[in-house]
Chain A
Amino acid sequence: MDKILRDKKAIIIFIAPAFIMFTLILFVPIIQVFYYSLCDYNALTKPEFIGLENYIDLFTDDETMRIALKNSLFFMIFSAVSQQTIGLILAVLLTNIKRGRNFFKNVYYLPAVLSSAALGLLWAFMFNPRMGINQMLAYFGIEGPMWLSETSGFIVLPMWVIAFVALWQYVGQTMMLYIAQISGISKELYEASYIDGATKVQTFRYLTLPLVKPMMVTSLSLNCIGSLKFFDLVYNMTQGGPNHRTDVLATHLYTQGFQYFKYGYASAISVVLLIMCLIVSFIVNKCIKVETYES
């Protein structure tokens, strides 16, 4: 038995294909992206080493980068807070009703499996100044705002709109993860707490919440990384416009890399994105684990 499970040749056969692909297509390019980010490199020239110049430009001289960073962080925080709270509330509500649980679950989860490119088009129509929601508001005599081209405020209106659409699309996914976790909690625990005279709210606070915490780590890191790399909805709803006000990191990377062909500069944006993702996953894992130990 033990000998079979220690079979070196078999281990290599099992691991090697995945390992090699992973290394060639993920890790080697990551090393390359670090190198490119230190180069002056565009599509038609050879990379030329220039040290940290791209990064210096990125952080001192690039207004769009500042907007993109601000928008991406806003988007991440908004998504994390709203999706986790609403997702958890929905999960608790759904586990507490008797009839139609599957129906509601299926409906809420539906947008998450649909293509966000397609839904982006749908919502761009809904928030068009002459269409969709504004037609609806006009019906009641209200003149709707220019949802996707308003540019005043610290976080511009289009970003809020996109964030709400993302919430609409992905809240079902978060809800699903929590439902999974809550249905894993044994029925006896709940029975016991009711017999002890605990109210529903108390049960939620002292029983459900601590027990779903492990899921919160997974859900929150997926959520945060997903928001940082967010591209589809922004591209299909505003394309970063008007005047880059709704650019996020991924659209800025796309514009610099594949519209202006500044590969070196876009690589620097990639590296920033990469580091942010790593930091965020680290923080999420660290913080929530500490809390679990305390309680």
Chain B
Amino acid sequence: MKRKLLSVILSVGMVASLLAGCAVSTDTGSGDSDAGAEETATTTEDAATEDEAEDVSASEDAATGEEIEITWMFWDDLEATEDLISKGYKEVIDRFNNDYAGVYHVNVITTNLEEYDTKLNALIAANDTPDIFICNPGPNLTQYVEAGVAADLTDILTNQEKEWYDSFSGGIFERITYDGKIMAVPTNFAAACVFYNTEIFEEAGVEVPTTYDELLAACEKIQAAGYTPISCSAGTAWCLSMVAGYLCDRVGGPDNLAKIESHEMEWTDPTFIEAGEKLKELSQYFQPTAAGDSNDQATAALYNGEAAMLIQGSWAIAQINGNNPDFEQKCGVFQFPAVEGGADPNRMIVKTDNLVMSSTTEHPEAVIALMKYFTDETAQKYTAEVGGKIPVVNGVEIDYTKAPAQLSYVQDILANMTGTFGFYNESLASVEAGDTFDNAMVDIFLGNCTSEEAFQKVEDFYLKEVWE
């Protein structure tokens, strides 16, 4: 899941690398051996990198010794990043440190995406939990909630900071609430839709499909017109698993996952099996190299005009427009089609970025102040207009002429939305359970086993690890 960020960094990064890049290499050119002057800025946090020291040293100079320091941990390098969302986060941090100079100060610990969990766990094990850190919803957050690492924010949100709490969009806290306790604050969200090439659709004489059968028919026509109907990456398992997740929900939603969790339902339920079979059916319209293609390659197939459709999260917008600006005007968006006789077709896969406060922080007031900066109007406006992600608070006036064209299509779809669910792999009991699901879907796709056999594997895993 997290890989999307990196893919964006790499693709967008090509464009503006030279200048920014050169600056980076000198900025970060200090470490153990030659930290020198910057050493003073790092102060108590031995884990804080020189990047951050550089980042904050300006305001630090002006600061008095009274200043309260907190640490924020994030999964991208704020200095080197080309990712627009990460750049927005950097602006938030800079703005916060400036406005609160002398009162609060944030030091940032950054890692790269892959190692984020390892690094965070190491800090937690060393009793050095960052005061506030970013976290994926689902099993990732669950483990920190269960281990008592995450602080309960319910009281702060619903009593002390009622006004702030009320500014959030309805239902946004749903997936980060445990037993009625709100454990995190979201900063933005993205929704998964089908992106399509309007020119290919016209050429093949295809209308936007609203049902699964129409989708198959459309694929057939597009294939006849000589294009790849759907571009999908099975090399990056979560991309395929997202399609599977949609099918599972369209066939057997919306309560299937909740029932799975409480073991009122089995993974071998006919609705899952049917979803698996539909996945196999749909996959015959994928590009021939889908098994080995990465997420980027699959996305590239859309914006290069080889493939007609791409089922992907809205973060792909930045990647598509960044790599091929001309594609913006021919790129349409529609919601994942309904399955006849299935469940509610207006539910969307969404994913939020969340901020978690450490239960051991000594300065909750500083953490809350920072959280507010992440969700204030300036930050949320940036999220939409520059980052292309969807704000989490109401009443932000977005200038859609500045924002990518696709974002307003996504917003239109969201207007009819009746419910949300997470990526399947992030909605299951553990990270490993999510991987088990992903891999079962890859197995169906590769034809290594039937839908029954694949879901039996997930069932076995749950029987052994989850439902004991």
A adjacent to B, CB under 8 Å: yes
A residues neighboring B (CB under 8 Å): 43-45, 61, 128-130, 146-149, 151-152, 241-244, 258-262
Instruction: In the A-B complex, list the 9 residue pairs whose CB atoms are closest, starting with the nearest.
Output: A44-B147, A149-B292, A43-B121, A243-B439, A129-B289, A129-B292, A149-B291, A260-B432, A243-B442
**Contact string, B443-457, partner A, CB cutoff 8 A, digits 1/0?**
100101000000000
**A48 → chain B closest CB, angstroms:** 14
A152 to B291 Cα, complex, angstroms: 13
Q: Contact between A151 and B448 (Cβ–Cβ < 8 Å)? A: yes
Knowing that A44-B147, A149-B292, A149-B446 touch, tell me 10 more A-B residue pairs with CB under 8 angstroms: A45-B147, A130-B297, A146-B292, A149-B291, A151-B448, A242-B234, A242-B291, A243-B446, A244-B439, A259-B431
A260 to B432 Cα, complex, angstroms: 6
**Contact string, B244-261, partner A, CB cutoff 8 A, digits 1/0?**
000000000000000000
**Contact string, B96-126, partner A, CB cutoff 8 A, digits 1/0?**
0000000000000000000001100110110
Q: Contact between B464 and A243 (Cβ–Cβ < 8 Å)? A: no
A147 to B144 Cα, complex, angstroms: 39
Q: Contact between A243 and B297 (Cβ–Cβ < 8 Å)? A: no
**Contact string, B293-306, partner A, CB cutoff 8 A, digits 1/0?**
10001000000000
Residue of A whose beta carbon sits closest to that of B439: A243
- B residues in contact with A242, CB < 8 Å: 234-235, 237, 291, 442, 446
Interface residues of B in 204-260 (CB under 8 A from A): 234-235, 237
Q: Contact between B292 and A43 (Cβ–Cβ < 8 Å)? A: no
**B91 → chain A closest CB, angstroms:** 32
Q: Contact between A44 and B439 (Cβ–Cβ < 8 Å)? A: no
**A136 → chain B closest CB, angstroms:** 16
A295 to B291 Cα, complex, angstroms: 53
Residue of A45, A61, A152, A260 with highest tally of chain B CB at under 10 A: A260
**A45 → chain B closest CB, angstroms:** 7
- B residues in contact with A61, CB < 8 Å: 464
A149 to B297 Cα, complex, angstroms: 15
- A residues in contact with B234, CB < 8 Å: 149, 242
- The 8 Å CB contact of A44, one of B121, B431, B443, is B121
The 16 sampled A-B contact pairs (Cβ below 8 Å) are: A43-B122, A44-B143, A44-B144, A129-B289, A130-B289, A149-B234, A149-B446, A241-B235, A242-B235, A243-B439, A243-B448, A258-B118, A259-B117, A260-B431, A261-B117, A262-B432
Residue of A whose beta carbon sits closest to that of B121: A43
Asked if B149 is at the interface of the complex by the 8 Å CB criterion, the answer is yes
A244 to B122 Cα, complex, angstroms: 26
Asked if B430 is at the interface of the complex by the 8 Å CB criterion, the answer is yes
B residues neighboring A (CB under 8 Å): 117-118, 121-122, 124-125, 143-144, 147, 149, 234-235, 237, 289, 291-293, 297, 430-432, 439, 442-443, 446, 448, 464
- A residues in contact with B439, CB < 8 Å: 243-244
- A residues in contact with B446, CB < 8 Å: 149, 151, 242-243
Q: Contact between B430 and A260 (Cβ–Cβ < 8 Å)? A: yes
- B residues in contact with A152, CB < 8 Å: 448
Residue of A whose beta carbon sits closest to that of B114: A259
A130 to B231 Cα, complex, angstroms: 15
Q: Contact between A149 and B124 (Cβ–Cβ < 8 Å)? A: no
A244 to B147 Cα, complex, angstroms: 29
Q: Contact between A128 and B292 (Cβ–Cβ < 8 Å)? A: yes
**A124 → chain B closest CB, angstroms:** 10
- B residues in contact with A147, CB < 8 Å: 292
- A residues in contact with B289, CB < 8 Å: 129-130, 146
**B233 → chain A closest CB, angstroms:** 11
- A residues in contact with B442, CB < 8 Å: 241-243
A206 to B149 Cα, complex, angstroms: 69
A130 to B300 Cα, complex, angstroms: 13
- The 8 Å CB contact of B293, one of A129, A261, A262, is A129
Residue of B whose beta carbon sits closest to that of A64: B439
Q: Contact between A241 and B237 (Cβ–Cβ < 8 Å)? A: yes
Q: Contact between B443 and A243 (Cβ–Cβ < 8 Å)? A: yes
A43 to B431 Cα, complex, angstroms: 14
**B152 → chain A closest CB, angstroms:** 17
A259 to B237 Cα, complex, angstroms: 15
**B213 → chain A closest CB, angstroms:** 29
- B residues in contact with A258, CB < 8 Å: 118
- B residues in contact with A44, CB < 8 Å: 121, 124-125, 143-144, 147, 149
A40 to B48 Cα, complex, angstroms: 32
- B residues in contact with A146, CB < 8 Å: 289, 291-292
A61 to B460 Cα, complex, angstroms: 10
Residue of A43, A45, A152, A244 with highest tally of chain B CB at under 10 A: A43
